[in-house]
Structure 1
């Protein structure tokens, strides 16, 4: 099968990485877990042995961590870190920490000028090109087209030709994490003019309110640093609802 052949390769392309993902994420829930994950581990080991290839250090660490963990689950970004991909391009499109999110958000706003939270297919290609350049990655047009198509296949769930910010970015919650319902109530309270954004002064009150509602203690020693990191993602001092929600809110079950 194609997935097994890709696992046997010394190096795989971004498209092949995505094919492997689709094969093993059989239920399409966005994770490889349970039986899917155990099957992947077993077939990864068999495929590498059949091809006369040793497991890489990343693969060995992964097998040690998840080989006997039936409750474990991974996403496509974690998969990209395990496989011998030509480059881990997927890692550029998932913001894991506030520090790494600033370039992402600055580039995103260049195309999402109305703060709708969406960019269309044509804008996506240029967005990816700009983001890769910020990461000092130079690619040709053919590879850029390939990456654009993969991003759409990964994240454009309703096939409307638009990519949503909330689908591309992993919330960077740090030690703070709030329910979306509570966040919306607090945001609306401080965005009294309905502009869709709040400023740095209002952020203090918003954070304190959310902490109180969610019974979290506000660490005075770290709050200034946390605020500074959040404001680094702002648009000229304006914190828009969608962007701030990505930073502060955990997904509700």
Structure 2
């Protein structure tokens, strides 16, 4: 099987990395957990042994951490740290600029240039090019186009050719990805509009920090399994990073709350 064969490689290409991720994330929820993670750990060890290769120090630490754990969870970022992936492609997952959700939100603000709520192909290409330049890496345009297409295939869950905020958030490590928690707080457009109008108490068309505080407290209360009220200050700081000078408009808040039409 292709994904298992790829695990035997000395260096894994961007396309092979995509195949591996797609194979093991069998339910397509954006991370490996439970049986998916156990299968990956087991088949990684078997593949390396079959190829006559030792586990790298990163692989060994990974197997030690997750080999017997039934409640582990990893995302694409964690997987990229374990596999000997093509250097330039790996840089996207090691980017210091995206070391926190707040940094990520500010970066999103920069690259969603038309404020459409999506990063489209050309915007994504600019984003990836910038990351490589920050790491002092040069890359030719054809390779950059290939990486852009693979990133789209990897993160574009609804196959619409553009990335939503929550899809792009897969570039963050699972533990630091507060948007994964908000994925479970889905609202329909009607519910969201009603909530926005309720918390936009002065009716000025945007939510400020105090109004957001009230909204988040209620969301935490209603979604105790997914959201932890002790993380309220972090949620608020990360979401306000999307705001325009302290003003959080309807379209931006809808991105975080994964509003469904």
Q: TM-score, normalised by structure 1?
A: 0.72
1:156 maps onto 2:156 in alignment: yes
1:99 Cα deviation (Å)? 4.0
| Match of residue 191 from structure 1 | 200
| Match of residue 79 from structure 1 | 79
Task: Please show how residues 236-251 of structure 1 align to structure 2 within 5 Å.
Answer: 236-241=245-250, 243-244=252-253
CA distance in 2, matches of 1:167, 1:174: 10
CA distance in 2, matches of 1:217, 1:17: 33
CA distance in 1, matches of 2:196, 2:217: 12
| Match of residue 120 from structure 1 | 120
Kept after mapping to 1: 8 A contact 2:13/2:85: yes
1:90 Cα deviation (Å)? 4.6
Counting matched residue pairs gives 244
Kept after mapping to 1: 8 A contact 2:152/2:161: yes
1:105 Cα deviation (Å)? 2.3
Q: TM-score, normalised by structure 2?
A: 0.70
Contiguous gaps of at least 5 residues in structure 1: none
Task: Please show how residues 128-147 of structure 1 align to structure 2 within 5 Å.
Answer: 128-134=128-134, 137-147=137-147
RMSD: 4.1
Q: Deviations over 1:175-217 (max 9, x none)?
A: 999945599454332336474x323454444455556666899
| Match of residue 105 from structure 1 | 108
